[in-house]
Amino acid sequence: MKRSRLAFSILAVGLGLPAVGFAAPFQCPSRGGDIVFGQEANVNSLDQMTSTTISTRNIAMNMYESLMTRSEDNQPILELAESMEESGDGLTYTFRLRQGITFHNGKPMTSADVAASFNRYNRIGIQRSTLDNVAGWDTPDPRTFVIRMKQVQPTFIEALSSFSVPIVVIPSEHENDERQQLRPVGTGPFRLLEFVPGSHARLGRFDGYQPNTAFEQRTGFGGYRVACVDTVTFRIVTEASARVAGLETGELQAVEDVPTRSLDTLRRNSAITILPLQNWWIQIALPNTSIPPTNNLAFRRAVQAALGMEDIMDAATDGNYRLNVGFQFPGRPSYTDAGKETYNINDQARARALLRESGYRNEPIVLLTNRDYPPMYNAALVMQQQLRAVGINANLRVVDWPTSVQMSQRVNSDEWHFFHTGWGTQPALGALATMQFLVSPNAAYRPRDDRDDPEVLALWNAMNNERTAEARQAAFANMQRMVLERAYALPFGSLTKVQAVRSNVQGFVPFRIPRFSNVWVQR
């Protein structure tokens, strides 16, 4: 079997990122102590295979691990595998598992456990379409796991390493656990001590944890991870003021989603460190192209020309934002500003000219939004005013989040023209995960009868099937440009989520989940 270039590049990233030079692996400056994290959203289950929610991931990703995951800059890296080889024909991936890995129950991990995890994921995993192109998997020996593909899929490793709904490795005896009933036993640096839904989940350091010695530091969801503290408690504190109060009193050592109104007070408190997490999500509005007048390109371009993103983002985020062209976060390898000429135009004269061209006759335009996520509501409010300023009869339709999603997904719906939402996890995962939102069955611009724009679809296929990463990136840039030029999506900018810790909590770096490995409490 010949190791492919793709495999080398993954390993190079995996081994090379933190390992360059002769730096020693991370060591806890101090051990012990307890951290209580104030989490904003309820967590209903810790079954990482059957949950897409961020609140589950926050906790579960400190407990579970996968064959592969993502690094700090979103590259696929090895986690429970020490090597991965892709066959010359691209139809087989062979993973060699790391030695000495044990589950939280003390059982050594083997390829049989990996196979059982894939079996369960294939049965009930929410993202089990990841395995649609997989013919099967084999376990030739306890340290080797082989995935056989039906067809060549150059993006398979990107999908396999996704942290959206990862294929976490569980003991084989848990293979038949039902949906949301997975017994919480993983291989991660923390093990579950107690879970009281609606109240808290308490994790304890797993003393049998084997750090991944291919790295020397934590990176992304993986790397060289060490649990320095004794326990981490994720306490559900849904009320923002209560989270801030808990941080001030020291009952909470770290919190997420600090409201802007509290920032000044907290900044004056030397016992507290504010940690902005930039690029949390992309604020976006999506047109319904199955009905008039949003099925008219000139009209959609008129809307695009009317929008001023600073005002929209300022209102949506209380000032915590960055302007951002397109569908990837700035600074990420896949970022491109292709189509930037369509962004933040804020030109009323041009908008009016395009409106005339479109033949718009003052029909009511419905902006579908919700109050469950205030940034979405606030963005819609400002958009409404900006559209009215150029003569578009824009009206808000405010419902709750589940209703707005339901309405937005109806084929050929005539109930709305623009749907307000936010894309967070997918842009963080990369271009492929994000652009799936623009093709069926996910096509968020709701084409008539769900029939994709064939040119957009062609670029999507190129993003998936081109053999080289460069060619796939070029296809992505073209797709982004086309989507923006055809105004199939109106991205406003990136929202910053503010986190905060007590100043004696060291090593905490904001990321897509609150990571508590390599975090210690200064004595």
Residue 119 near other proteins by CB under 8 A: no
Residue 252, Ramachandran bin (φ over 0: left; ψ between -120 and 50: alpha; else beta)? beta
Residue 70 near other proteins by CB under 8 A: no
Nearer to other proteins, 246 or 326 (CB): 246
Residue 241 near other proteins by CB under 8 A: yes
Q: Where are the beta strands (DSSP E) in 483-523?
A: 490-502, 505-506, 520-521
Residues near 21 by Cβ (< 8 Å), separated by ≥ 6?
none
Residue 132 near other proteins by CB under 8 A: no
Residue 76 near other proteins by CB under 8 A: no
Residue 441 near other proteins by CB under 8 A: yes
Nearer to other proteins, 341 or 414 (CB): 414
Nearer to other proteins, 54 or 345 (CB): 54
Residue 128 near other proteins by CB under 8 A: yes
β-strands 520-521, 505-506: how paired? Answer: antiparallel
Residue 401 near other proteins by CB under 8 A: yes
Residue 405 near other proteins by CB under 8 A: yes
The DSSP symbol for 183 reads: -
Which one of residues 13, 28, 112, 124 is an interface residue with other proteins (CB under 8 A)? 124
* Beta pairing partners, 48: none
Task: Of 519, 517, 523, 521, give the one whose Cα is nearest residue 224.
Answer: 517
For residue 330, how many other CB atoms are within 10 A of its CB? 14
Which one of 4-12, 17-25, 243-251, 360-368 is the stretch in contact with other proteins (CB under 8 A)?
Answer: 243-251
| C-alpha 308, offset from chain centre | 26
| C-alpha 260, offset from chain centre | 23
Could you tell me if 86 and 3 are in contact, meaning their C-beta atoms sit under 8 angstroms apart?
A: yes
β-strands 222-223, 200-205: how paired? Answer: unpaired
Question: Token pair for residue 275?
Answer: 């940690």
Residue 425 near other proteins by CB under 8 A: yes
Nearer to other proteins, 46 or 97 (CB): 46
Residue 53 near other proteins by CB under 8 A: yes
Q: How far is the CB of 130 from other proteins (least distance, A)?
A: 11
Round to whole Å and give the CA distance between 402 and 280.
21
Residue 180 near other proteins by CB under 8 A: yes
The DSSP symbol for 420 reads: E
State the binding string over 248-287 for other proteins (x if CB under 8 A, else -).
xx-x------------------------------------
Q: How far is the CB of 422 from other proteins (least distance, A)?
A: 6
Task: Of 145, 135, 66, 82, give the one whose Cα is nearest residue 111.
Answer: 145
What stretch of H or E contains 139?
strand 134-141
Residues near 341 by Cβ (< 8 Å), separated by ≥ 6?
none
Which one of residues 28, 242, 298, 398 is an interface residue with other proteins (CB under 8 A)? 242
Residue 58 CB-half CA count within 13 A = 25
What stretch of H or E contains 432?
helix 431-435
Residue 134 near other proteins by CB under 8 A: no
Which one of residues 139, 403, 465, 473 is an interface residue with other proteins (CB under 8 A)? 403
Which one of 208-216, 221-229, 306-314, 421-429 is the stretch in contact with other proteins (CB under 8 A)?
Answer: 421-429
Which one of residues 13, 15, 28, 245 is an interface residue with other proteins (CB under 8 A)? 245
Nearer to other proteins, 128 or 332 (CB): 128
β-strands 222-223, 231-236: how paired? Answer: unpaired
Residue 193 near other proteins by CB under 8 A: no
Question: Token pair for residue 404?
Answer: 């707005």
Which one of residues 2, 22, 106, 198 is an interface residue with other proteins (CB under 8 A)? 198
Binding-site ranges for other proteins (CB under 8 A): 42, 44-45, 47, 50, 52-55, 124, 126-129, 164-165, 178-181, 196-200, 235-239, 241-242, 245-246, 248-249, 251, 372-373, 399-403, 405-407, 409, 421-422, 424-426, 436-437, 441-442, 444
